[in-house]
């Protein structure tokens, strides 16, 4: 095991008053690595074996240290992500939530979410985590087209994600999300619409859909570079987005963030906390946190993470203190992604002139003193933000 890195001291963390506070808990384990993924995850082969119980003990200790550092604030949302949290099994997921309750005050109406891979779930799994206090499940579906799943190196069968969603609903979960990826080389319009139709048929109240991004260092990027697969086409991406938006809208779903749709009341409160500029503590290898004006990130490797924890140190790899200008940039960038938009009053004079130009170009509309992306603006959201900020 490599020696633990030198600890990094965080500056004073002062929670801004008001607004929800969340916890993000990162599970770094996967059975296999998907070709498009650049998340901080590790397979058993990459770690030389996995000891989830040692990792879990370190995570619980980090939660204890975090609560002491912050004064044990009330937690309104918990999100267990990864990686593949469902690989831990329901008992360990229950231990994680028990640790939250031990060291923090969990709000009575707290939203508690876990991500899950359909292949590592079962009716018994969903019933047990529901009994433990989880209120929301987010399932990786990606597609129901076998060739798309094969290109993405996904190991679950085409029908398993829908079956898992139905099992979660039957276990009593009111809020279940299915995640789609569109724009995979070889995907057709029919492939995407079939996937959306299957998702709708399950009865879930939330769908996320993300354009495939070819990240440097991934297996997918290497295949594109070798000419085995074409680079995703921007025009095709736009057409696919419009297709899925139209179908979801016709089924009673509304977009509340550029890549997220829900039925009324099905919005993910934890993720809304990110987009609203909220505060959270990120626990686990590579997790990010944001409190006050300080953003930090943990060391990435599970062994380095555990080493710092065993020395009684927070496993921080680095941090930054955001200036007023940094915060303004992020507030504009994040608020414009939301359906409720950005308050015009938060913009400076020059930014308002740029906003007027974007309205004239059909990229933004003004609704009740807020700037909201048009349908065309959603396709060009990043460019609209850059244009607004100059």
* Per-residue burial over 31-43, b = 16 or more CB atoms within 10 Å of its CB, e = otherwise: eebbbbbeebbbe
pLDDT of residue 3: 57
Give pTM, 2 decimals. 0.94
* Per-residue model confidence (pLDDT) at position 342: 97
Q: What percent of the chain has pLDDT over 70?
A: 98
Q: CB 72: neighbour CB atoms within 10 A? A: 14
Domain with CATH 3.20.20.70 in the chain: 21-276
Work out the burial of residue 311: count CB atoms within 10 Å of its CB; fewer than 13 is exposed, 13-18 middle, 19 or more buried: exposed
Structural contact between residues 216 and 168, judged by C-beta atoms closer than 8 angstroms: no
Separation between Cα atoms, residue 390 and residue 386, nearest integer Å: 6
Tell me which residues of the chain have a pLDDT lower than 70.
Answer: 1-4, 38, 49-50, 156
Q: What is the pLDDT of residue 1?
A: 46
Task: Cite the residue boundaries of each domain of the chain with CATH code 1.10.10.
Answer: 324-389
pLDDT tens figures, 254-287 = 999 999 999 999 999 999 999 999 999 999 999 9
pLDDT digits (tens, 9 = 90+) for 347-377: 999 999 999 999 999 999 999 999 999 999 9
Alpha-carbon distance of 68 to 78, in angstroms, equals: 18
For domain 324-389, give the fold. Answer: Arc Repressor Mutant, subunit A (1.10.10)
What is the fold, at CATH topology level, of the domain defined by 21-276?
TIM Barrel (3.20.20)
**Mean of all residue pLDDT scores within the chain:** 93
Q: In what order do the strands lie in the sheet with 206-211?
A: 254-257, 260-262, 206-211, 175-182, 136-142, 105-116, 74-82, 21-27, 279-283, 288-291, 294-298, 316-321
Q: Do 123 and 170 touch, CB atoms closer than 8 A? A: yes
- Reduced to 3 states, what is the DSSP secondary structure of residue 226? coil
Nearest CA-CA partner of 15 in 72, 79, 70: 70
Name the nearest CA neighbour of 267 among 354, 174, 345, 384.
174
Q: What is the pLDDT of residue 223?
A: 85
């Amino acid at each position: 095991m490599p020696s633990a890195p030198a600890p990094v001291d965080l500056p004073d963390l002062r929670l801004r008053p008001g607004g929800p506070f969340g916890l993000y808990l990162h599970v770094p384990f996967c059975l296999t690595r998907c070709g498009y993924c650049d998340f901080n995850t590790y397979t058993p082969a990459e770690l030389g074996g996995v000891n989830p119980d040692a990792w879990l003990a370190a995570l619980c200790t980090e939660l204890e240290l975090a609560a002491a550092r912050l004064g044990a604030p009330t937690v309104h949302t918990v999100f267990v992500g990864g990686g593949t949290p469902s690989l831990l099994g329901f008992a360990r997921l229950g231990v994680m939530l028990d640790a939250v309750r031990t060291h923090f005050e969990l709000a009575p109406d707290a939203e508690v979410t876990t991500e899950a891979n359909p292949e590592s779930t079962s009716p018994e799994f969903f019933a047990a985590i529901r009994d433990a206090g989880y209120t929301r499940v987010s399932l990786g579906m990606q597609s129901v087209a076998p060739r798309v799943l094969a290109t993405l190196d996904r190991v679950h069968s085409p029908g398993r994600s829908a079956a898992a969603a139905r099992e979660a609903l039957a276990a009593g979960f009111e809020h279940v999300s299915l995640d789609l990826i569109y724009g995979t080389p070889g995907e057709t319009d029919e492939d995407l619409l079939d996937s959306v139709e299957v998702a709708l048929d399950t009865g879930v109240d939330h769908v996320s859909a993300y354009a495939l991004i070819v990240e440097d260092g991934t297996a997918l990027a290497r295949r594109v570079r070798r000419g085995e697969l074409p680079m995703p086409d921007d025009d095709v991406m736009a057409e696919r987005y419009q297709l899925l938006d139209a179908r979801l809208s016709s089924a009673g779903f509304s977009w509340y963030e550029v890549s997220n749709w829900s039925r009324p009341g099905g919005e993910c409160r934890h993720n809304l906390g990110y987009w609203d500029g909220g505060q959270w503590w990120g626990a686990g290898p590579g997790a990010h946190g944001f409190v006050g004006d300080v953003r930090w990130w943990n060391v990435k490797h599970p062994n380095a993470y555990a080493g710092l924890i065993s020395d009684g140190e927070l496993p921080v790899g680095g941090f930054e203190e955001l200036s007023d200008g940094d915060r303004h940039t992020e507030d504009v960038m994040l608020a414009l992604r939301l359906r409720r938009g950005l308050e015009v009053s938060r913009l400076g004079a020059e930014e308002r002139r740029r906003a007027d130009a974007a309205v004239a170009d059909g990229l933004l509309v003004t609704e009740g003193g807020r700037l909201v992306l048009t349908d065309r603006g959603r396709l060009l959201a990043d460019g609209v933000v850059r244009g607004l900020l100059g």
